[in-house]
Structure 1
Amino acid sequence: MVRQSAVALLTAASLALAGCGAPAQQAAQTGSYAEIIDDNGRTVSLAEKPQRIVVTSASFLAPLYAVGGEVVGRPVTKSKVIPEAESAATIGPVYQIDAEKIIALTPDLVIINKGMNEKLIETLAANGIQSLVIEMKSYADVKREIGTFAALTGEQARGEELTAQMDADIAAVRASIPQEKKRIAIIHSTGQGLSVQLSGSIAGNIAEMLGWENTAADMPALDKNPDAAPYSMETLVAQNPDIIFVTSMGEEAEIRASMEAMFRESPAWQSVTAIREGRVYYLPQEMFLFSPGIEYPAAVRYMARLIYP
């Protein structure tokens, strides 16, 4: 929920454009510039429009700038940084954010990546710095946070236009491909091993948006990762998916070589339709490991075109 005294925020009608379960954001007269309930359930009241913003995830940059925001600090990252934010001060790698570097930038708001950087909240508060915890994984997350960022910048109309255009672009992709129920599996490869991605993962979310069936949908999730299930070659062979997507964390070329060797050397894998028909596709990390943010339509298009070139 977002409230702002200066400008009436997103109405119920405009939020209908965003869809996908985005929470209602209502206008109200309060004594502050904006009052926001973040993704940790905290109510954050901002007395004035934030002028010095620091983000702990590069995924927040493009959506924030798209609605008129800018940052003074950002993480060091392997993912693409939009040109407008390249000159911003760096605050350390996303997994090792340096609180002292943030404090030295004297921000009036720090936007924190949910599930990764919440440990910063207490230190920032002790130094009089407000924070918002944001999750930006699924497409619904992205649209919700565009609304939050638009409330911070006072550019609600731009936020509504952006989400409406994203919806239209994705609808156009879906309309351009056959409406058939592809059975897909998504294997995630890291240096620690393999897992199977569920609907809550980025690739799983996009496959679901395209109307395809994830063969792992009913598998129990890992204890520490609700978006993934344990890898089992026997289970995947029995599920016999039409298509296999591979996402990865690490050196993509090495992971691809390792996966192809695994498929090639196992008689069991050779019985799977996706392997037998050469329908194994490796998904780029910049779209399917890191949140594509406002590039979600491009990620949807990318996956669709792999199957329907």
Structure 2
Amino acid sequence: MRSRLALSWMLALSLLLVACTPAASAPTPTLSPTSAVTIAPEPTATVTLSPSPTQALITVTDALGREVIFSQPPQRVVIAGRATALLADAAYLFPEAKEKVAALSRTSQGAEGDFLTLVDPNLGKKIVFETNVGAEQVVASQPDVVIMKTYMAESLGKPLETLGIPVVYLSLETPEEYQRDLRILGQIFQNPQRAEELVSYFDTQIQNVTQPLQGLLPEQKPRTLLLYYSDRDGQVAFNVAPKAWMQTIMTELAGGRPVWTDIELGSGWTKVNLEQVAAWDADVIAIIAYTANPDEVAARLKADPQWQAMRAVRDGRLYAFPKDFYSWDQPDVRWVLGLRWLAWRLHPEAYPGLDMVKEVRAFFEQLYGMDAKIFDARLLPLLKGDLR
């Protein structure tokens, strides 16, 4: 009886000890440096872990010489402010832009619509700002980086930087800046190989234009006038570009002598009257129109008796500068098309058999992968200017 009682006490004591022993802990999962943990019950709350000490930092030196450091490649790229179309067209030369561009300011320049609808089928799902977007709206788009023009630094860039948002400034105003800024975009999209391909492409296009013009004497270079026509608020005006702008650079590369650089020019477009245009009496005049049809503008000028007295009109050398969605004179990626067209118009003998429509088709195929059906249906009908 006593032994049975003792056995019962020993059994009870064993059960008590087992109950008091703590259970083995479950193994803690190991997360990669870029992992995000969803915290219940709020499915939208995320915790981003710091990168590992061994993960390489990405340092981008932008067009203002600022170093912008990223702990990991930007996944949400935002393009904001004025002249966004010029920035976005350059960004979309990189295939990664379709996925990584999350928001951008309006890129349409006129009634033709938005070029990017031809290259990004998901454009309609992205956030779209106005060109005068404020910092608060940009922050709400949750950017990993914001790309903007250098002249937006004070008005939009600085408020974003104050809020801790990484900002990368691009210029894209000259051929040299295009080389630098394409390489910056290559870093942002983590595709330096594509950046070098693009730099090589633009270099080759310039060489193809300038090589046949080597050895031209000054007197063999036509006196050339690029005139920007505007009719804002019903007021017709003609304007010329500053010396450092792409329009002037393009004229010189194309083997022309820009006649308008002999007057005092401002930092932007300088308005000129008809008397000044007549006084220049250029050999060649090219009419630029951003919101109007350049073909129609050129036709009206040719029919005007005052213009008929000018040398360029008398010699049949007043031309409409080409455009599609955007005019080719500006520092958009199309500037190499504008350069080739202008050189051909100034020196047709140097480019025998040149087919500009064929050049345009190859341009969009090589740079944007645009197939023939989309080009023929959506872009070819928009081509304006003296292309033939």
Shorter-chain TM-score bucket reads 0.7 to 0.9
In 2, Cα distance between the equivalents of 1:214 and 1:60? Answer: 27
Structure 2: 5+ residue stretches without partners: 1-54, 109-113, 349-353, 355-388
Q: Which residue of 1 aligns with 2:226?
A: 186
Any idea what SS the aligned residue of 2:105 has?
Answer: strand
Q: Which residue of 2 aligns with 1:51?
A: 75
Any idea what SS the aligned residue of 1:217 has?
Answer: helix
1:243 and 1:274 in contact (8 A); partners too: yes
Question: How far off its partner does 1:115 sit?
Answer: 2.7
Question: How far off its partner does 1:290 sit?
Answer: 4.7
1:91 and 1:101 in contact (8 A); partners too: no
The within-5 A match list for 1:50-69 is 50-56=74-80, 57-67=84-94, 69=96
In 2, Cα distance between the equivalents of 1:77 and 1:60? Answer: 9
Q: CA 1:252/1:118 → structure 2, altered by over 3 Å: closer, same or farther?
A: farther
Query: Given the alignment of the two structures, is residue 142 of structure 1 paired with residue 167 of structure 2, yes or no?
Result: no
**Counterpart pick for 1:90 among 112, 122, 127:** 127
Question: How far off its partner does 1:220 sit?
Answer: 1.3
Any idea what SS the aligned residue of 1:49 has?
Answer: coil
Q: Which residue of 2 aligns with 1:235?
A: 276
Q: Which residue of 1 aligns with 2:331?
A: 291
Q: Which residue of 1 aligns with 2:343?
A: 304
Question: How far off its partner does 1:41 sit?
Answer: 4.4
**Is the helix fraction higher in 1 or 2?**
2
- Code of the residue aligned with 1:113 in structure 2: it is K
1:182 and 1:242 in contact (8 A); partners too: yes
Q: CA 1:125/1:62 → structure 2, altered by over 3 Å: closer, same or farther?
A: same
Any idea what SS the aligned residue of 2:226 has?
Answer: strand
In 1, Cα distance between the equivalents of 2:76 and 2:59? Answer: 16
Any idea what SS the aligned residue of 2:264 has?
Answer: coil
In 2, Cα distance between the equivalents of 1:115 and 1:248? Answer: 23
- Code of the residue aligned with 2:87 in structure 1: it is F
Any idea what SS the aligned residue of 1:72 has?
Answer: strand
In 1, Cα distance between the equivalents of 2:92 and 2:291? Answer: 29
Question: How far off its partner does 1:283 sit?
Answer: 1.7
The within-5 A match list for 1:1-309 is 32-36=57-61, 38-56=62-80, 57-67=84-94, 69-70=96-97, 71-78=101-108, 79-81=114-116, 83-84=119-120, 86-87=123-124, 89-93=126-130, 95-116=131-152, 118-175=154-211, 179=216, 180-192=220-232, 193-222=237-266, 224-225=267-268, 228-252=269-293, 257=296, 260-261=299-300, 264-267=303-306, 269-285=307-323, 286-288=326-328, 290-293=330-333, 295-307=334-346, 308=348
- Code of the residue aligned with 1:74 in structure 2: it is L
In 1, Cα distance between the equivalents of 2:260 and 2:213? Answer: 23
2:329 and 2:335 in contact (8 A); partners too: no
In 2, Cα distance between the equivalents of 1:298 and 1:282? Answer: 14
Q: CA 1:135/1:88 → structure 2, altered by over 3 Å: closer, same or farther?
A: farther
- Code of the residue aligned with 1:231 in structure 2: it is V
In 2, Cα distance between the equivalents of 1:88 and 1:130? Answer: 23
In 1, Cα distance between the equivalents of 2:182 and 2:90? Answer: 6
In 1, Cα distance between the equivalents of 2:329 and 2:123? Answer: 21
Structure 1: 5+ residue stretches without partners: 1-29
Instruction: Please give the TM-score of this superposition, normalised by the length of structure 1.
Output: 0.75
Q: Could you give the per-residue CA deviations for residues 101-143 of structure 1, whole angstroms, max 9, x where no partner exists?
A: 4222211100012335742223323433111121122222222
Which has the bigger relative contact order, CA under 8 A and spacing at least 6?
1
RMSD: 2.9
Q: Which stretch of the first structure deviates more once superposed, 229-238 or 135-144?
A: 229-238
1:34 and 1:152 in contact (8 A); partners too: no
In 2, Cα distance between the equivalents of 1:188 and 1:176? Answer: 28
1:247 and 1:289 in contact (8 A); partners too: yes
In 1, Cα distance between the equivalents of 2:265 and 2:250? Answer: 18
In 2, Cα distance between the equivalents of 1:88 and 1:276? Answer: 51
2:254 and 2:340 in contact (8 A); partners too: no
In 2, Cα distance between the equivalents of 1:247 and 1:39? Answer: 28
